[in-house]
Amino acid sequence: MISFEHVTKKYGRETALNDVSFTLEKGKIYGFLGPNGSGKSTSLKMMAGLVFPSSGTVSVNGKKVDRKIAADIAYLSELDFYYSAFTVQDMINFSASQVSDFDWKKAEELVAFMQLEPNKKLKQLSKGNRARLKLVVTLARNTPILLLDEPFSGLDPMVRESIVKGLLSYIDFANQTVVIATHEIDEIEMLLDEVIAIQNGAIRAIENVEELRETKGLSVIEWMKQIF
């Protein structure tokens, strides 16, 4: 589904990714885990066609990634960009107008699940509610790939776990691949099929979460402590 072949990405003299290769399969949820500046966000941006390799190849379904990949990928950025004068409903309307795969029914269900007020202006929303809105407009798309960069940042820890559990209802596991880059490991461990440890722009390890538990007796956090 998604393939990196000897991918290096440099920003000036800084190397964000260094000769990275891996393949992500259809129908799984992957966790990209690592410290700040490790290359997680750069990896997701390259999958989304927002930045391109300095060398190597990023491909989706056998095709080299370009700007047109946006038709097949729903990308949730770690950044918090909004039109502050918009209401929640305005933002949903705008998002729907930009793509052909927007699912209005799912969007309405997600707004209710996230407990958002459609007529409330975005500039009046808390950071946590803005994070919920980003999840709404991303998950409402029926795309084969979902890329979520720090999707739970800003959410109150008291509600984060229930929101993570609820998201399972809005992912089509038969047809969607999900990639999550996050620091919130405790809450998302139950979601993940495979974990990818990345540090200083290099892949340190890739493991199946179930095998980690059954054969090594490790949680994802315990595994990360060993890796890093």
List pLDDT tens digits, range 154-208: 788 778 888 888 888 888 888 899 999 987 788 788 889 999 999 999 999 999 9
pLDDT of residue 148: 95
pLDDT of residue 161: 80
Counting as low any pLDDT under 50, the low residues of the chain are none
pLDDT of residue 182: 85
pLDDT of residue 89: 97
Query: Please, are residues 148 and 171 in contact by the beta-carbon 8 Å criterion?
Result: no
Please give the model's pTM, rounded to 2 decimal places: 0.93
pLDDT of residue 174: 82
Domain boundaries, the chain: 2-38+48-227
pLDDT of residue 156: 80
User: Other CB atoms closer than 10 Å to residue 170's CB: what's the count?
Assistant: 18
Contacts of 200 (CB under 8 A, 6+ apart): 18, 38, 39
CATH node for 2-38+48-227: 3.40.50.300
Query: Please, are residues 44 and 4 in contact by the beta-carbon 8 Å criterion?
Result: no
pLDDT of residue 203: 96
